[in-house]
Structure 1
Amino acid sequence: MAETAQPNIRITTPNRSFEGHTDSVTTAAVFPDGRRMVTSSHDKTLRLWDLKGGVVLKKLVGHIGAVWAVAVSGDGQLIASGDEEGSLIAWHGETGRSLTRAIKGHHYRICSLDFSPDGTLLVTGSWDCTIQLWNTTTWEVQGKPIHCGAGVNCIRFSPSGELVAIATHNHIEIWNLRDSTPVVSNPASALLRNSRATLRTQTGRAKPDSDNPVNPRTISTKCITKFKAVINSCNSSLAWTPDSTRLLSAGPYFDPTIREWDTSTWQQVGDPWSGHTGQINALAVNSTGTLLASASSDNHVRLWQLSDRQTIAIFTTIREVLCVAFSMDGKRILSGGKDKKISEWEVPKHAPKDQASEACSHPC
């Protein structure tokens, strides 16, 4: 999709910066209480921040390799982080105390992880081409690894917790974690094509049911669809809308676009969203489902309206941007990257904020 002809707000100076890491900041996750944030870095540490004061509350040490991913549980009681060596560490959300040793969960880099909405499961994705599910009470692996056939770049639970979206070097895959019933209604091996992307689906359909949460003790998995968002290329990031009706995916440096997918059919909606000139490294949707923020290696964070897919603001940094997140109230954007710090940006006052929704999405 072509960029909007309307003028965009361009901002080059953040409200403030959070400094302390000594290498690239890879992920930022805001706590549900809106008071704190945790960040991960190539400096092998996590940092727990007070958002109001802008100060480090605690430096979390335990990884022996660069930390690529961090996530916070929905109740704020757990933090999980994954590193270059394929190790996972769980931390207490309030104190920052480590709850586990560094657990070797993968053979190579953990690039992404996410908690289920009810907090009973953690899912980790790695460049060793596998996904692991973890019981967050015992911190033991649940079931067998999911083999994706390509390195995993991003993994996200749907807001209901029933589905997991996986972005790999080759495909986007959607898995059902509740049982082995596939949820796509088209005949097996049917191939849906358009001029920009292809989609392969399998049989059956089941409506998500938030009143029937995933039971970690009886979990089974089923791949329900696999599709190529970018032909012969990797998929770098994912984000669900709060109502689960859309999945957004981001592309690499030679196709730095965002694609929107209808989750009832898994067909692409409209043309790709264009504007970035470098790989899109992270996506985040605000809690009301009205805005999308994208972080790119072109040194920009773009703010998009989901209603018309138009850019309404561009935030410029001096280095590549690797992560992005919204504050809980949706009034600020937090971005981090190769400049070794987190920058806080104000969401323009004219941006839509008041459309109701049922749940929050997770930052990538």
Structure 2
Amino acid sequence: GGPVSAVDFSPDGKTVASAGGDDHNIRLWDAATLTPLLVLHGHSDDILDIEYSPNGAHIVSAAEDETVKIWDAVSGMLISTLEGHTSGVNCAVFTHDGRRVVSGSDDHSIKIWDVEIGACLSTLTMHRDCVLSIAVSPDGLWMTSSSKDLNAVLVLDVARGGVRHAFTGHIRSVSTVAHNRDGTRIVSGSWDGTLRLWDNAVLVLDVARGGVRHAFTGHIRSVSTVAHNRDGTRIVSGSWDGTLRLWDVAKRGFWGHSGYIRCIAFSLNGRRISTGSDDMTVIVWDVATGTSLVTFKEHNTPVWSVTFSPSGDHLVSGGVDCRVLVRNLEGGELLQFEGHADTVGLVAFTPDGEVIISSSDDTTMRLWDTKMEACLLVLDPMMWHRTIQLSPDGSGIIMSGGKRAVQLW
């Protein structure tokens, strides 16, 4: 009797390992028939975590008896007992080459063990409370950890033992962490009842910052466990509220900006999106895949307005640097229009794509000829700035009140 505390599939999906109950044993089951195969005896207290090695040959277990044990997954024989923690061990995972085991304990430490010789190689002591969860990157160079002392996910350098980055955003302790297969995304579950998906791609490139991709809300009690599917498109979470939830990662948004997104525009054919951000970049996205096609970094201040030309081959943007920038998306030179004395808040193309209209906080509107690369007209009505709307036939600019203010030829 007693609750099941941990389960794991073998890499080939044919066997399930489970731990729990009052007998402190691990049980192996045939995944197709649920027929019991083996019982692994050895722990003297509750088993809190189990995991198969990447090749399926071994199983590692962590328990309240302060030990980590490595088992032969075929015969069920105990291979080694890893001793060194001074309190219960909450989690233990293999590195992706199967040569190391990493464990986290109530003694506030993380230990890295050599599987072959059964020795502790290093001990990490950056946490000040119980270590609750650990996940090791695919290349084995870094890992993520969570503990009771922080409402954060720590990214740790395995070789040096230092903290690369701390992802913050949860409002209670982070109870579980996991990676997708290439390590570019981290998912965390917290006692605050939420999951958060973090963008870790920049950390793989040794850049100092990462960002949250999405916060998944729905559980009404603490999230106790999370996992990615193999292609990283789904996340499954389990909670103390008694529910299991499956989340769609692929449809949760387009990630790439590191600052507030000020503006967004569709191309007329609906295949591309452009965004401008406080991170001073303009990104063009593929609507179908959600991938960024190109990132422009010519602005040196936040970008407040973007729009595509009617043909979709040009993109214009305006921002706090007072400039209007036009890019040829098929390749070509960048056009820079200067003249405004304050933030360019809105930009638009005429239907033929040859004239750009910009509106600025300097209370002026300007018309720019893209072929002549010159300003055609400056309008200075105090109440017109921040308003640009072309008439339906493209022959004029309609201002507040519906009156045609400027006739275009």
User: TM-score by structure 2 length?
Assistant: 0.57
2:10 aligned with 1:31, yes or no? Answer: yes
| In 2, Cα distance between equivalents of 1:309 and 1:293 | 15
Secondary structure of residue in 1 paired with 2:217 = coil
Tell me, yes or no, if the aligned pair for 1:86 and 1:110 is still in contact at 8 Å: yes
Pairs aligned (count)? 243
After TM superposition, list the pairs within 5 Å mapping 1:173-212 onto structure 2: 173-177=154-158, 179-180=159-160
Render the CA deviation track for 1:159-203: whole Å, top value 9, x for unaligned: 2222110011113211122x43xxxxxxxxxxxxxxxxxxxxxxx
2:240 aligned with 1:297, yes or no? Answer: yes
| In 1, Cα distance between equivalents of 2:190 and 2:112 | 26
| In 2, Cα distance between equivalents of 1:156 and 1:294 | 16
Residue number in structure 1 paired with 2:70? 90
After TM superposition, list the pairs within 5 Å mapping 1:155-174 onto structure 2: 155-169=134-148, 170=150, 171-174=152-155
**Which of 56, 61, 64 is 2:44 aligned to?**
64
> Which amino acid letter does the alignment assign opposite residue 224 of structure 1?
R
Deviation at 1:299, TM superposition (A): 0.8
Render the CA deviation track for 1:133-164: whole Å, top value 9, x for unaligned: 00000111012343412211100011222211
CA RMSD of aligned residues (A): 1.6
**Which of 103, 126, 147 is 1:124 aligned to?**
103
| In 2, Cα distance between equivalents of 1:115 and 1:307 | 28
Deviation at 1:309, TM superposition (A): 4.0
After TM superposition, list the pairs within 5 Å mapping 1:288-327 onto structure 2: 288-309=231-252
Specify whether residues 227 and 150 from structure 1 end up closer, same or farther in structure 2 by C-alpha distance, changes over 3 A only: farther
2:128 aligned with 1:149, yes or no? Answer: yes
2:170 aligned with 1:230, yes or no? Answer: yes
| In 1, Cα distance between equivalents of 2:134 and 2:185 | 15
Tell me, yes or no, if the aligned pair for 1:88 and 1:105 is still in contact at 8 Å: no
> Which amino acid letter does the alignment assign opposite residue 246 of structure 1?
R
> Which amino acid letter does the alignment assign opposite residue 241 of structure 1?
N
> Which amino acid letter does the alignment assign opposite residue 242 of structure 1?
R
Tell me, yes or no, if the aligned pair for 1:172 and 1:229 is still in contact at 8 Å: no
Consecutive unaligned residues of structure 1, counting only runs of 5 or more, are 1-21, 181-220, 311-364
Q: Which runs of 4+ in 1 moved over 4 A?
A: none
> Which amino acid letter does the alignment assign opposite residue 162 of structure 2?
K
> Which amino acid letter does the alignment assign opposite residue 33 of structure 1?
D
Deviation at 1:42, TM superposition (A): 4.3
Higher mean Cα deviation, 51-60 or 35-44?
Answer: 35-44
Deviation at 1:117, TM superposition (A): 0.2
2:199 aligned with 1:262, yes or no? Answer: yes
Tell me, yes or no, if the aligned pair for 1:29 and 1:39 is still in contact at 8 Å: yes
User: TM-score by structure 1 length?
Assistant: 0.64
Deviation at 1:308, TM superposition (A): 2.2
Higher mean Cα deviation, 285-294 or 140-149?
Answer: 140-149
Deviation at 1:239, TM superposition (A): 1.3
> Which amino acid letter does the alignment assign opposite residue 38 of structure 1?
A
Larger radius of gyration: 2
| In 1, Cα distance between equivalents of 2:146 and 2:252 | 21
Looking at secondary structure, tell me which structure has more strand per residue. Answer: 2
Tell me, yes or no, if the aligned pair for 1:42 and 1:65 is still in contact at 8 Å: no
| In 2, Cα distance between equivalents of 1:74 and 1:96 | 17
